[in-house]
Amino acid sequence: MRHQSCPARLSSGLLVLSCVLAACQTTAPPAPGPSTGLEIHIAHINDHHSNLEPQPDFELRLDGVPTRVEVGGFPRLTTLFRASSGLPNLLKIHAGDAMTGTLYHTLYNGEADAALMNTVCFDAFELGNHEFDEGDAGLRRFLDHLRKGPCRTAVLAANVEPAIGSPLAPMRGNDYLQPYLLRQFGNTTVGIIGIEVRGKTMNSSRPLPTTRFLDEVETAQRTIDGLRERGIRHIILVTHQGYEADKAMAARLSEVDVIIGGDSHTLLGDFSAIGITAAAGPYPTVVSNRDGDPVCIGQAWEYAKVFGLLEVRFDERAAVASCSGSVTLPLGDDFRQKDASNAFVAINAATRSRIVDALQGSGARIVTPDPLAQAELARYASRLDDMKRQRIGTATESLCLVRVPGEATNRSSGVTGCENANRLARGSDIAQAVAEAYRQASKLADVALQNGGGIRAPLPPGDVSYSTAYSVLPYTNVLYEVQLSGRQLVEVLEDGVGNYLDSGGSDGSHPYAAGLRWRLDLTQPRGRRFSRIEVLAKGSETWQPLDPQRNYTLVTSDYLATGGDGYATLAGLNQAGRSINTYLNYTQTFVDYLQARGTVARPPATDYSHQQVIGRDGSQLP
């Protein structure tokens, strides 16, 4: 409960805010309490996942008309951060998961992300679970890059305790990570506490076994209590645990005022005027803490596409009197709409003027990239082509591309060693290798699933470069981990084949797997096509019959996990909350697999998912 008042200064931040971001959406603040306390502004992003370049062809609906335009990109975020710099009592916060997701991370290992972050100079950066994807040493490498700039960003994680002598604590526990940051605004000290998601980081990323992850709520309350004993009454949590977890945590904590979050990639605010209906709640979201006082919660979507700006006013008890703010979707100026032939083409000046008018108050506006940040990005982009040619491993033999075993088309024609690959029961060598990469990337998965059509090229023998890997897996998919029973796993396989045999869909849905093998008869009806299904469960060295009642973990692409290619069973499990997005880029996962092994070859015959195949013509394939 609040018992003391804190000296603070008044500000005219509301007027400044309206001038700086007049085109952005703003929620109506709650009825204000006494206005004699502190006013602070928090500019924030989260989960940019190495998405430094803007996203092209982002589709809006303006007055009902589909309109495509470039959106986001880190240099546009830098512009918005700089535009907010005149606001009083400003904090600049990144709520985690800066790394993993694009070629900029794969090739630069955090250097490019750190360089662009240093064009903002964040006050605080909270660790995300993906900061540990390359272990404590990989995280330290990224933080060393972040330290090379002039910004002195505080790296927060109150519930992460690296062992002394480990990469994150070579001499002392706070060598790299701090539990909190204290900022002085006039006569008032504000405490900013960092909280990392515990279970997901331990189970799906790769921290050292000696690095301890403490309970999120217990650590937050203990740290809040410690700051209160020092007379600090204004408390901000920067978390990486998800929007729903933030709301639940707020209700369990005493004396918390603000939570700036990440991890769930949640869009908040009202963007319905431009056809975006995916928002999960208002911005800011206001809930109550254990004391019954307001808590302001903010999150800023994902992939450098949204900028959040929160204004919080405190009363004389140091409790929140009101919070308001805006979320901005920064756009380019390359608007395109459909012409008479249904192709998206550049618009004329009159249409552009109407679009700009339509954007007023929508939450989206045209933002010019910051020149210095753009130059920094260009410096890394110019080196990408050379780096794409770098060798990452060797294929000791050809890995042939097949969709359905027995198909008439040889998709690997011209690749030595693949002359009759389409006629063999084993099917796609490269799909098997990719599935195995997924399975090894997941700490939990028993089985990995890959659809044949998701692989776009065979892998010829010889050196494998980054460019080669991206020709095999050219999309921007990420990996999902799905909890399902053995019975449901069989239904997943049946979905993959039934999509083209029963529903007239693409045969690109045909399933391949690592850690799972079967016999397949394409002449049989659904429910009888797969037999002798065996699984090599996580940690086991022996193939065992699939148990219909046992629970298994499957790792696959987000495309399949959300029902793409007719995988209705996976879609249902996803909708029921039985899946989790790892945010591991699937191409980067394959690259990591190649780099770790040095070489890649066809798996042993016993590890192929297809152990026996009866083709559609009734013949058994060799």
User: pLDDT tens across 388-413, in order?
Assistant: 788 999 999 999 999 999 998 888 87
Residue 319 is encoded by which pair of tokens?
Answer: 């409790």
Partnered with residue 25 across adjacent β-strands are 327
Which tens digit of pLDDT belongs to each residue from 139-150? 999 999 999 988
- Give the pLDDT score at 30: 38
- Give the pLDDT score at 107: 83
Higher-pLDDT residue of 118 and 130 is 118
Using alpha carbons only, how large is the chain's radius of gyration in Å?
Answer: 26
Higher-pLDDT residue of 107 and 413 is 107
Higher-pLDDT residue of 519 and 5 is 519
- Give the pLDDT score at 556: 97
Tell me, what DSSP letter sits at residue 175?
S
Which tens digit of pLDDT belongs to each residue from 362-381? 999 999 999 999 999 999 99
C-alpha angle 470-471-472 in degrees, rounded to nearest 5: 90
What proportion of the chain, given as a percentage, has pLDDT over 70? 94
Is there a contact between 300 and 327 (Cβ–Cβ < 8 Å)?
yes
For each of the domains in the chain, give its residue range(s) and CATH number, in order of start: 13-383 (3.60.21.10), 390-614 (3.90.780.10)
Confidence band of 15 (pLDDT split at 50, 70, 90)? very low
- Give the pLDDT score at 203: 77
Average pLDDT over residues 240-257: 96
Instruction: Compute φ and ψ for 505, nearest 5 degrees.
Output: -85, -175
**Burial per residue of 129-147, b for 16 or more beta-carbon CB atoms within 10 angstroms, e otherwise:** bbbbbbbbebbbbbbebbe
Confidence band of 1 (pLDDT split at 50, 70, 90)? low
Distance CA(319)–CA(288), nearest Å, equals 11
- Give the pLDDT score at 2: 55
Which tens digit of pLDDT belongs to each residue from 310-347? 999 999 899 999 999 999 999 999 999 999 999 999 99
Average pLDDT over residues 49-60: 90
pTM over 0.85: no
Give, in order, the Cα–Cα distances in Å from 192 to each of 95, 98, 151, 342, 434. 12, 19, 17, 51, 42
Which tens digit of pLDDT belongs to each residue from 17-39? 333 333 333 333 333 333 348 99
Rounded (10°) CA dihedral 117, 120, 123, 125:
-20
Which tens digit of pLDDT belongs to each residue from 63-75? 889 999 999 999 9
Which tens digit of pLDDT belongs to each residue from 561-579? 999 899 999 999 999 999 9
Instruction: Please provide the average confidence, as pLDDT, over all residues in the chain.
Output: 91
